[in-house]
Amino acid sequence: MKDYKIYAVGAAVFIIVIGGVFWLGLYFGYNNQPYILRFTGISSKEPVEIAGEADFAPFWKAWALLNENFVDNSTSSKKVVTNQDRVWGAVSGLTDSLGDPYTVFMPPEKKTRFDEDIAGNFGGLGMEVGVRDGMITVISPLPDSPAKKAGIMSGDVIAKVGATSTASMSLDEAIKYMRGPKGTKVHLALLREKVSQPIEIDVVRDTIILPTIETKELTGGVYQISLFNFSAQSPNLFRDALEKFLRSGSDKLILDLRGNPGGYLEASVDIASWFLPEGKVIVKEERGKNKVETIYRSKGYDIFTKLNRKVQMIVLVDQGSASAAEILAGALSENGVAKLVGQKTFGKGSVQELIPVTGDTSLKVTVARWLTPNGNSISHSGITPDTLVAITAEDVKKGIDPQKDKAVKMLLGK
């Protein structure tokens, strides 16, 4: 009987020890397995092939630690953050890590807003904005727009929208804050070069109508074509404007690209082709990590050579000349067709594509960059005119245009 009791106690101890070892092993096994394997209820955990090495363990560890330890200490009521929201936040962080303000992730809410904007269902201020040196910067206010009427200028930095600082805003967020129903007011704080204090202004949103082209005969037989954007209609409208110039009998042309934020690459190629022989390089496009180069060449309309007419030409540019406007200015300058007068251009020489991620999310990705015919990157430095001429807010208020005046004097040999 005594032996039986000893045996029973020994068996119990054995079971406890074995059980302890089992649970201890289970515990250590769980804690030593990859973090991704600890999660249930998460779909699409299968690895995807990634070029180069990337250790995702820190991501899953951080996810697990946040799940286990985070306590919401916020006193304000706010939207409950779901696991899917965390995924969208992680993808946004991934695009932010690239340091390119034009590469952004659009989760469902932002994607919906983007689609509405494309459809034109919004009121706005009428200005093109971009990012320069990490700051939300006005590329150009559009003619007759609320922004233009309020005195906003190319190069102005938008420091605040309402009471909200733009310091940590993405470009898309800043645009979201500035857009809204027609007739509503938005308060802006602007930083302007050579102005010591922020400029505080109120601008009333309106439906924005984009002008395209304007022609004008100036003093001394100088003809001016002002091109405000590169839309799908721009090539045809420019052809008509050029026909008017030819009929005027003038041999002195100013092409005004100031405040032109760009648009379709094809439109800039078509317009440049009126001034260049067939095959001349207009712009080079470097695409992808392997920098596959595509060269866009003149279609050879070359109207002045074909008509045996010699034309003096000056292109006006400023901080608001961007993208396709910089392509055209660079092509005409580096091919020896025109001189550039004004201020250094904005420096927006990249190409974005919208790529679906899921049915209701997208990535807007920079996929290529543009180089001038001589191989200069438009994005890195913009384009510096042959003749630099500044224009101030005072000049604008007084209706003075020293840049155009300089171009006229140069064409008239003064």
Tokens of residue 42, six digits: 């998460």
Q: Can you give the pLDDT at residue 1?
A: 52
Is there a contact between 211 and 228 (Cβ–Cβ < 8 Å)?
Answer: yes
Question: Tokens 């020489």 label which residue?
Answer: 349
What gap in Å lies between CA 148 and CA 138, rounded to an integer?
A: 11
Per-residue pLDDT of the chain (414 residues; tens, 9 = 90+): 555 555 554 555 445 545 454 445 444 454 555 555 555 555 565 555 665 677 888 888 888 888 888 888 766 656 678 888 888 899 989 998 998 888 888 888 777 766 665 555 456 898 889 888 889 999 888 888 999 999 999 899 999 999 999 988 888 788 888 988 889 999 999 999 889 899 999 999 998 877 789 999 998 999 999 999 998 899 999 999 999 999 999 999 999 999 898 989 999 999 999 999 999 999 999 998 888 999 999 999 999 999 999 999 999 999 999 999 999 999 999 999 999 999 999 999 988 888 999 988 999 898 999 999 999 999 878 999 999 999 987 888 788 999 999 999 999 998
Pick the last residue of a domain from 135, 170, 204. Answer: 204
Q: Are residues 199 and 170 in the same domain?
A: yes
- Residue 150 sits in the same domain as residue 185: yes
The pLDDT assigned to 230 comes to: 92
Determine the pLDDT at residue 45.
55
Is residue 265 a part of any domain in this protein? yes
d(CA 367, CA 350) in angstroms, rounded, equals 8
Q: Which of 168, 185, 204 marks a domain boundary? A: 204
368, part of any domain: yes
Q: What pLDDT is recorded for position 121? A: 46
- Residues 331 and 402 reside in one and the same domain: yes
Same domain assignment for residues 130 and 223: no
CB distance 382 to 370 below 8 Å: no
Total domains, the chain: 2
Residues 368 and 238 in one domain: yes
Residues 195 and 219 in one domain: no
pLDDT of residue 301: 97
Rounded to 5 degrees, what angle do the CA atoms 132, 134, 136 make?
A: 65
Same-domain check for residues 174 and 299: no
User: CATH number for the domain including 347?
Assistant: 3.90.226.10
On whether residue 145 sits in a domain, the answer given is yes
Measured from the Cβ of residue 18, the count of other Cβ atoms closer than 10 Å reads 10
Would 329 be classed as within a structural domain?
yes
Confidence (pLDDT) at 58: 87
User: Which domain covers residue 290, as residue numbers?
Assistant: 213-353+362-411
Same domain, 159 and 301: no
Cβ contacts of 2 within 8 Å, gap of 6 or more = none
Q: Is residue 56 part of a domain?
A: no
The active-site residue, picked from 61, 149, 334, 339, is 334
Among candidate residues 334, 326, 343, 325, the one with its CA nearest the CA of residue 404: 343
223 and 337 together in one domain: yes
Question: Catalytic residue among 110, 148, 252, 348, which?
Answer: 348
Q: Is 334 a catalytic residue?
A: yes
Q: Which of 140, 234, 273, 323 is catalytic?
A: 323
CATH number of 143's domain:
2.30.42.10
Pick the last residue of a domain from 204, 232, 254: 204
Tokens 């938008």 — which residue?
158
pLDDT value at residue 80: 79
Q: Comparing C-alpha atoms, which of 56, 44, 49, 114 is closest to residue 83?
A: 44
Distance of CA 64 to the CA centre of its chain: 35
- Identify whether residues 199 and 233 lie together within a single domain: no
Q: Does 332 map to a domain?
A: yes
Environment class of residue 251 by beta-carbon count within 10 Å: exposed (0-12), middle (13-18) or buried (19+)? middle
348 is catalytic: yes
Q: Does 308 reside within a domain?
A: yes
Tell me, yes or no, whether 313 and 337 share the same domain: yes
327 and 276 Cβ atoms separated by less than 8 Å: no
Domain identity same for 251 and 275: yes
Q: Which two tokens stand for residue 211?
A: 């002008």
Could you give the 3-state DSSP secondary structure of residue 157?
A: strand
Residue 9 resides in a domain = no
- Cβ–Cβ under 8 Å, residues 343 and 317: yes
Phi, psi for residue 344 in degrees, rounded to 5? -60, 135
For 210-269, what is the HEC assignment?
CCCEEEEECHHHEEEEEECCECCCHHHHHHHHHHHHHHHCCCEEEEECCCCCCECHHHHH
